[in-house]
Each structure stands twice: as C-alpha cells, then as structure tokens.
C-alpha cells in the first residue's frame, strides 16, 4: 500500500495515494463549480491604455513604450508608489473614507472606504492590521476575518479595493478595471490600490497605532506584498495565495480566463508578464532583504489560479535573496482555501502569526 502525507498547515495525516488523488479531484471539481457560479462575468475589449500611465494614446509603438515604462517604473518604484499624507480623512461611525491620491477617470472610484473593527476590550492602541480581500469581494466579505483579528487583540481595517463595492462604477458590478484587458488602466488601478493602502497605514499611525501589519487574499495578497516592500510602517504581512508575476496569473489562471481571452490576440504571455511587472511581487522581493519584516505565505497546492509553480518560484526567489518567508501549503485550491475545513487552519495560522509578529 502506498501512502501520501497530507499536510494540514502544521500537522500531517498519512492517507492512501488513491484517497489523496480523490481529494485532489474533489477540490478541482469544487474550484470549477465555484468559478462557473460567479455572476456578471464579461469579456472586455483589449486596449493599450497608455493614457492612464502618462503615455500617448496614439503612440505608434505601444510595445516600446510599455517596455521602457516597466523597466523605469521598477527601478523607481519608491517614487511611483509614493504616498504623501491624505488631507481629508473622515471617520463616520466605523467607516473611514478619504480621497484617493491617484485620480482615475471615474469619480465613484476615487473615494476610498475602509471598515474599522476595534477590539471590545482594547486598553491601548497597539497593533492594527489592514485587510485586503479578493477580487470582486463585496462590502460584507471578510468581516469575520476582521472580528477574528479583534479576538486576538488587534484592530483591523478592511479597505475597499479600487472599483469594488462602494467604489464600483456604473454598469460594472464586477471590478472589471482592477484586473482587465486594458493594460495601462490595470497598471493605474493597482498603483492606486497600493497608494490607498499606504494612506490608510499613515492614518492608523496618526491615531497612535504603533505596530502595523497587513493581510491580503488573492489580488489583495499581491497588493499587500508590494505595499509591504515599499511602506516602512509595516512590520509584518500574511499573504493568502502568492505568485510571481501579475501577467502569469492572468494568462494562466482559471478565474481570469475572461480577462486573458481578449489579450491573447494581441500579446504573448511573456509580453503580459513584462508590461505588468511593476504591479507584480517578484521584482520587489529583494527590497525586504535586511528589513526585519516578517512574512507568511499560505497557498493551495491544487490552486488553478495561482498555480503552485508560481508559488514555488516566488518562495525560491525569496530564499535566494535572503528574505525569510514562512510558508504553508494546504491540499486545497483558490476558492476552497476559504471553505471548511481549510478556512479554520488558515485563520489559525495567519492569526497567530500576526499576533506574535505585532506584539
């Protein structure tokens, strides 16, 4: 009899190989079922979108512009992601809002909203965590994550990503412009997300929170990691799903098939990887070298969106660059990471990690 060790985030169970194969098949069917149930998915037209990143919409060589833009932006990423203090923070009840420093073409998207969750018995303002949910998350999603952080003694603030929930624009119930086939607009939207998060962290620091962390899921994980690489206020980050390049995920992932379909007729996978490299984790890993910041990466080994190959390449890059990243690989996929029983293992791991890192 051949047995396989199934790791459940810290403790292992030996099962027959046939059962391990059965579990993988069950997870993959679940992933496809959840993907097929998502409403309002559409295929948007491809566009270069150079005007959204300071280029000329009529540039005769958009490839040349994007190639030069990507190289320059990564080299000067501290400037591109810079965030001077926002001037109009407003806290109404438990909802923080302020004007985004990056002006998109839509007014609705240019106001940032955050839901503040405070521990009931907190005696002092010590640790706080910014929470970034997955693509197309709703206003009420991941609130239980914030309450769990509260139980562990940490304040949490869940930020609405660009084009999500209260920031949605007319005619787009999904966040079609945060991850979309408009190359320049997607670059702008993800830059906007990082800058918005940095302003939120600055607000928390102004309120007296001295130990700051970040928690991101899926696209929220990508944004959270880039933020941690550029924001000195952050001490620790937990990242649920990790990958190498933004373009790799879009070109190969199950949940982004509708985005890649119009792009594939105009770009190769290698071009998508390069043009979107400024909004990818991979180029910035080395910035954490010697920073003392602590990182936790949690992934699913049957993930059809953030492929395990991408996760493993990211972890190898961190190791080669001398950046310590704790990692947990669970026998689940992208959607199922947030389903029973995996969500309890995930919650325990990121909760205890952040509590220790921020004490």
Over residues 69-97, the pLDDT tens digits come to 999 999 999 999 999 878 899 999 999 99
* pLDDT value at residue 86: 82
pLDDT digits (tens, 9 = 90+) for 335-359: 999 999 999 999 999 999 999 999 9
Which two tokens mark 301?
Answer: 């080994």
User: φ and ψ at 176, to 5 degrees?
Assistant: -65, -15
Distance CA 230, CA 288 (A): 9
Which two tokens mark 33?
Answer: 């079922």
* pLDDT value at residue 21: 87
Distances (CA, A) of 244 to 28, 47, 190, 226, 250: 22, 24, 16, 12, 11
Distances (CA, A) of 226 to 15, 39, 245, 254: 38, 29, 12, 23
Q: What is the pTM of this model?
A: 0.94
All domains in the chain, ordered by first residue: 44-357 (3.40.50.1820)
Distance CA 153, CA 209 (A): 13
List, in sequence order, every residue forming a beta bridge with 217; answer none if it has no partner. 240
Give me the residues of the chain with pLDDT under 70, please: 1-20, 122-123
Residue 229: exposure state from Cβ atoms within 10 A (0-12, 13-18, ≥19) = buried
* pLDDT value at residue 122: 67
* pLDDT value at residue 13: 46
């Amino acid at each position: 009899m051949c047995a396989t060790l199934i790791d459940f985030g810290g403790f292992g169970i030996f099962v027959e190989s046939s059962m391990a194969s059965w579990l993988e098949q069950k997870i993959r069917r679940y992933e496809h079922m959840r993907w097929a149930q998502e409403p309002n998915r559409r295929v948007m037209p491809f566009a270069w979108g150079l005007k959204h990143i300071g280029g000329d919409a009529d540039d005769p060589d958009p490839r040349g512009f994007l190639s030069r833009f990507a190289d320059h932006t990564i080299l000067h990423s501290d400037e591109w992601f810079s965030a001077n203090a926002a001037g109009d923070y407003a806290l109404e009840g438990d909802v923080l809002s302020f004007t985004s420093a990056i002006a998109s073409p839509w007014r609705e998207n240019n106001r940032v909203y955050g839901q503040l969750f405070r521990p009931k018995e907190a005696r002092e303002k010590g640790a706080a965590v910014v929470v970034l949910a997955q693509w197309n998350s709703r206003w009420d999603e991941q609130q239980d994550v914030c309450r769990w952080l509260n139980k562990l003694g940490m304040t949490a603030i869940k930020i609405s990503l660009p084009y999500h929930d209260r920031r949605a624009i007319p005619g787009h119930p999904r966040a079609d412009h945060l991850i979309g086939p408009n190359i320049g607009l997607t670059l702008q939207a993800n830059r906007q997300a990082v800058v918005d998060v940095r302003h939120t962290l600055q607000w928390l620091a102004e309120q007296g929170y001295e130990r700051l962390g970040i928690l991101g899921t899926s696209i929220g994980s990508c944004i959270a990691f880039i933020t941690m690489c550029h924001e000195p206020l952050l001490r620790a980050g937990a990242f649920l799903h990790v990958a190498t390049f933004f373009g790799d995920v879009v070109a190969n992932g199950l949940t982004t098939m509708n985005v890649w379909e119009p792009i594939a007729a105009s770009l190769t996978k290698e071009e998508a990887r390069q043009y979107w490299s400024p909004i990818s984790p991979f180029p910035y890993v080395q910035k954490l070298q010697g920073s003392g910041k602590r990182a936790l990466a949690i992934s699913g080994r049957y993930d059809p969106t953030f492929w395990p190959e991408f996760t493993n390449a990211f972890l190898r890059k961190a190791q080669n660059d001398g950046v310590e990243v704790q990692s947990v690989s669970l026998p689940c996929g992208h959607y199922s990471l947030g389903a029973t029983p995996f969500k309890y293992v995930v919650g325990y791991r990121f909760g205890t990690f952040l509590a220790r890192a921020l004490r």
